[in-house]
């Protein structure tokens, strides 16, 4: 019976070169967060379908790979809808599984709980270049820490990790949903229209101040509010260095003074502890799409990328929606696939790989000599080298060239007639 | 909307303690095989359903989690069978994906190709204690190496890996399908009944020589063949040390002399190169279930386990069934979940973990002091320590006890009134 050689549509085989980089990135991530007291967790790749379709997942809920019911549970003769056919689904992110995990295992977890998850997620998206239906996410979360120590640790750990991966001169942009709201309120927008305003504000990067202004007006917001709102951002452009100070003074009573102190403390603590080259920037135009954020929000911008390569924020109300009990929560999601892609494109060399040595053994080597050769290989491996033992091909020159493309730099030939050696 | 807290039936959440051990075992495996020139690969967790249902998977094909078709492809009104509803399935092992991967990417792979795969597989088995519907497999294969160098490298690498994980005094049992067949043929069984004979022989461990004899007779095999067959095994019991020599002499022309040399060379080379404490044992009763094996077969027996904790063999005809072109192949599957379980039960301590230090910071610490504390934590982490920065609880004694259970052995308290420090 013929086998289809291609992987499932929209998914990909990972070849040795990319795999080396993925393994390396995973190792750096695990090692780094470990030194901050984070512990790894893992949940099954499938969740009960109800957990995936409760509106927390937004658009992603339309992209679920659903799993067919099994055995007697599947009754084709009476099935009317997809819901009759499927009881499980592939997870589309790591947030829903984390919250379920936390509510299931809370009694056996440290408090606060510092979790690291790396694993595949699935989305039945329209296949397109560079975007796959199975891809890895990497989430780091602190549950049960109400103070900004969570933000400080998350940002310090994440920037340390990026530094170890060789990234320099990147930016951490930070803002707070409370500042976003205070600015909109100060300008005179109604609270019900905040989300609409923020969606437009989020385009600032692409369409600029004037674009945002036109867009707001075309959405029938009052001219006076739009003007007042835009004046805030114009003022901020003139206060790049002390934006937080400026906005706090300008907003006056509209903004709780605690919010400024909260962000100031995060920025100064992260700056003090930093173990990588990056800038920490207050960015009042930073919105972050998900409406579940309740406080601080942040994003990583690496110049080599067009856009962001990860971000996160505080979401103190989400766990409670599931468990009935509010739990302070703050998380970071790192753009694992983008980082791997960038390192691949840069032809990244993994540090401290050890020497790569190839033994080429002529055919029909007597058993005793073979034993000696294997012993020599073992000894060299024990010293930390990579030793490939391979049969010598007739075209030895071509064989060595091939091995060189795999990174082998030293060769040792073993002939049956040992005088040839 | 209520969330179900439990993971999907038959699957499990992995808590920090187990996760540490899993990560450690994966790291030792990857590091060890890497020094032998193996490279990691990964395939999607789903395969096209036809690839999973072509009879190579045996009983596992009945246990597939199938994925519902999506969008227009799913037509409930005309669907008659499961096949109309599902186009993809979750992989139930790593062998089918490896063969597909190899036929898809052969042109871009080294030859011979030494592959390492670790990842989850799914089987909709009846849930039972210690057996899960999602679990990890770890497969190591060499494709394109027709000589016994493949066996030598696989067994040496695998035993080195087990040694690094702390296992001692285990056994590698080795046999060859060609010996199994020669013994059955010598006794006078028909070739068509070999598989039936081997299934009974495979029970030797449990039912002993007499049990095997009775079972064979009850299956209506000729008394004379059964007697002659059993005499071989009785003779072997008296030749524990030189079983291979004995069987080769006894079988005479029934066994190709090359087979004895083939196994002798594997055993002597592995013995010479060995970097762990284990015995290499010729075991003529070793069968290994899968009928796709064509030559050498082997199994790991660790005394702490009741039975085997991995095994494998040569399967030179399988790749060809898929690609139309025979490719020499030999592989090893390590019982990843059993190893993790054993280490967990032994309360295994991960070596070289670094010191675990907890900073306890009193509430309302001024921003400047907070920065200094974070800097100190960063410096200690850079030295390889694990530093947890935590808010000081009112009941500090209880907090420290909790942290001690997580492995924290050093504590440093930071008070707002620094004189208290």
Chain A with chain B: Cβ pairs closer than 8 A: 303
Residues of A in contact with B161 (CB under 8 A): none
Reported for B208-212, long-range contacts at CB under 8 A and 24+ positions apart, including other chains, are B209/B233, B209/B234, B209/B237
Q: Do B387 and A100 touch (CB under 8 A)?
A: no
Residues of B in contact with A3 (CB under 8 A): 50-51, 54, 99-100, 103, 322-323
For residue A420, count other CB atoms closer than 10 A to its CB: 9
Pairing of strands B410-414, B356-361: parallel
Q: Do A269 and B105 touch (CB under 8 A)?
A: no
Nearest-CA distance A291 → chain B (Å): 17
Contact A174, A267 (CB under 8 A): yes
Band (A4; pLDDT cuts 50, 70, 90): confident
- pLDDT for B187 equals 95
Q: How far from chain centre, in Å, is Cα B303?
A: 17
Nearest-CA distance A224 → chain B (Å): 39
Residues of B in contact with A112 (CB under 8 A): 390
Q: Do B66 and A65 touch (CB under 8 A)?
A: no
- pLDDT for B308 equals 85
Residue of A nearest to B112 (CA): A390
The yes-or-no verdict on residue A344 having pLDDT over 90 is yes
Residue of B nearest to A67 (CA): B67
- pLDDT for B209 equals 92
How far is it, in rounded angstroms, from Cα A279 to Cα A170?
Answer: 6
Q: Do B67 and A70 touch (CB under 8 A)?
A: no
Fold of A356-420: Rossmann fold (3.40.50)
How far is it, in rounded angstroms, from Cα B294 to Cα B314?
Answer: 6
- pLDDT for A72 equals 86
Least confident of A332-346, A366-380, B48-62: B48-62
Q: Do B3 and A152 touch (CB under 8 A)?
A: no
Average pLDDT over residues A356-372: 93
Which residues are within 8 A (CB) of A379 and not within 5 positions of it... i.e. 6 or more apart? none
DSSP states along A8-76: STT---B-HHHHHHHHHHHHHHHHHHHHTT-EE-B--SEEEHHHHSSSSSGGGGGG--EEEP-GGG--T
Q: Do B13 and A105 touch (CB under 8 A)?
A: yes
Residues of A in contact with B110 (CB under 8 A): 16, 402-403, 406
Nearest-CA distance B112 → chain A (Å): 8
When CB atoms are compared, the residue of A16, A46, A381 closest to B39 is: A16
- pLDDT for A2 equals 63
Q: Which residues lie across from B410 on neighbouring strands?
A: B357
- pLDDT for B58 equals 78
Q: Do A35 and B152 touch (CB under 8 A)?
A: no
Average pLDDT over residues A246-262: 94
- pLDDT for A155 equals 97
How far is it, in rounded angstroms, from Cα B384 to Cα B378?
Answer: 10
- pLDDT for B420 equals 60
Q: Do A388 and B46 touch (CB under 8 A)?
A: no
Nearest-CA distance A202 → chain B (Å): 30
The yes-or-no verdict on residue A418 having pLDDT over 90 is no
Average pLDDT over residues A50-66: 87
When CB atoms are compared, the residue of B149, B273, B406 closest to A375 is: B273
SS3 of residue A116 by DSSP: strand
Q: Do B406 and A152 touch (CB under 8 A)?
A: no
Provide the ipTM. 0.93
How far is it, in rounded angstroms, from Cα B361 to Cα B3?
Answer: 35
Residue of A nearest to B14 (CA): A42
Residue of A nearest to B369 (CA): A269
Mean pLDDT rounded to a whole number for chain A: 92
The yes-or-no verdict on residue A386 having pLDDT over 90 is yes
List, by residue range, all CATH 3.40.50 domains of chain A: 356-420
Residue of A nearest to B32 (CA): A381
Pairing of strands B410-414, B386-391: unpaired
Residues of A in contact with B27 (CB under 8 A): 27
Nearest-CA distance A177 → chain B (Å): 22
When CB atoms are compared, the residue of B1, B120, B375 closest to A45 is: B120
Nearest-CA distance A269 → chain B (Å): 4
The yes-or-no verdict on residue A355 having pLDDT over 60 is yes
Q: Do B40 and A23 touch (CB under 8 A)?
A: yes
CATH architecture, range A16-204+253-345: 2-Layer Sandwich (3.30)
List, by residue range, all CATH 3.30.930.10 domains of chain A: 16-204+253-345
Nearest-CA distance A118 → chain B (Å): 12
Residues of B in contact with A403 (CB under 8 A): 110
The yes-or-no verdict on residue A10 having pLDDT over 60 is yes
Which run of H or of E encompasses B245?
helix B243-251
Residue of B nearest to A398 (CA): B111
When CB atoms are compared, the residue of A5, A27, A272 closest to B371 is: A272
Contact A416, A364 (CB under 8 A): yes
Q: Which of A39, A157, A11, A32 is nearest to A98 (CA)?
A: A39
Q: Do B70 and A65 touch (CB under 8 A)?
A: yes
Residue of A nearest to B121 (CA): A45
Class of domain B16-183+273-345: alpha beta
Q: Residues B118-170: pLDDT tens digits?
A: 999 999 998 777 789 999 999 999 999 999 999 999 999 999 999 999 998 89
Q: How far from chain centre, in Å, is Cα B319?
A: 20
Q: Do B48 and A4 touch (CB under 8 A)?
A: yes
- pLDDT for B22 equals 98
Q: Do B5 and A269 touch (CB under 8 A)?
A: no
Q: Do A37 and B386 touch (CB under 8 A)?
A: yes
Per the document, the length of chain A is 421
The yes-or-no verdict on residue A210 having pLDDT over 60 is yes
Q: Do A1 and B104 touch (CB under 8 A)?
A: no
H helix count then E strand count, chain B: 15, 14
- pLDDT for A401 equals 94
pTM over 0.90: yes
Please list the ranges in chain B whose pLDDT falls under 70.
1-2, 290, 419-421
CA-CA distances (angstroms) from residue B400 to A35, A39, A253, A419? 18, 18, 41, 68
For residue A249, count other CB atoms closer than 10 A to its CB: 12
């Amino acid at each position: 019976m013929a086998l289809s050689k291609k992987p499932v549509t929209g998914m990909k085989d990972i070849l040795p070169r990319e795999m080396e980089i993925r393994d390396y990135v995973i190792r750096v991530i695990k090692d780094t967060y470990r030194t901050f007291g984070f512990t790894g967790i893992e949940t099954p790749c499938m969740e009960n379908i109800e957990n995936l379709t409760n509106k927390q997942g937004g658009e992603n809920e339309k992209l679920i790979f659903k799993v067919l019911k099994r055995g007697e549970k599947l009754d084709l003769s009476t099935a009317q809808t997809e819901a009759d056919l499927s009881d499980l689904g592939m997870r589309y992110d790591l947030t829903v599984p984390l919250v379920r995990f936390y509510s299931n295992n809370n009694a056996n977890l440290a408090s606060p709980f510092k979790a690291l998850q790396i694993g595949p997620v699935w989305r039945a998206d329209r296949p397109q270049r560079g975007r796959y239906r199975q891809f890895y996410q990497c989430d780091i979360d602190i549950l049960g820490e109400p103070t900004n120590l969570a933000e400080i640790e998350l940002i310090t750990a994440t920037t340390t990790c990026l530094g170890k991966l060789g990234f320099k001169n990147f930016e951490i942009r930070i803002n707070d949903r409370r500042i976003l709201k205070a600015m909109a309120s100060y300008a005179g927008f109604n609270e019900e229209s905040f989300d609409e305003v923020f969606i437009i504000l989020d385009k600032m990067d692409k369409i600029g101040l004037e674009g945002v202004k036109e867009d707001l007006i075309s959405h029938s917001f009052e001219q006076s509010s739009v003007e007042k709102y835009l004046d805030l951002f114009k003022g901020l452009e003139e206060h790049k260095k002390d934006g937080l100070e400026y906005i706090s003074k300008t907003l006056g009573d509209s903004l709780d003074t605690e919010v400024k102190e909260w962000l100031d403390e995060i920025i100064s603590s992260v700056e003090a502890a930093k173990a990588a080259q990056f800038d920490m920037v207050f960015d009042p135009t930073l919105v972050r799409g998900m409406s579940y954020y309740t406080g601080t929000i942040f994003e990583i911008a690496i110049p080599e990328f067009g856009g962001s390569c990860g971000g996160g924020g505080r979401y103190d109300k989400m766990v409670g929606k599931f468990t009935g009990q509010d739990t302070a929560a703050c998380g970071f999601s790192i753009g694992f696939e983008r980082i791997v892609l960038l390192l691949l494109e840069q032809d990244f060399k993994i540090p401290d790989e050890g020497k790569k040595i190839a033994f080429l053994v002529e055919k029909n080597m007597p058993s005793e000599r073979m034993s000696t050769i294997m012993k020599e290989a073992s000894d060299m491996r024990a010293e930390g080298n990579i030793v490939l033992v391979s049969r010598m091909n007739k075209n030895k020159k071509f064989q060595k060239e091939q091995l060189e493309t795999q990174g082998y730099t030293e060769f040792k030939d073993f002939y049956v007639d040992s005088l040839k050696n």
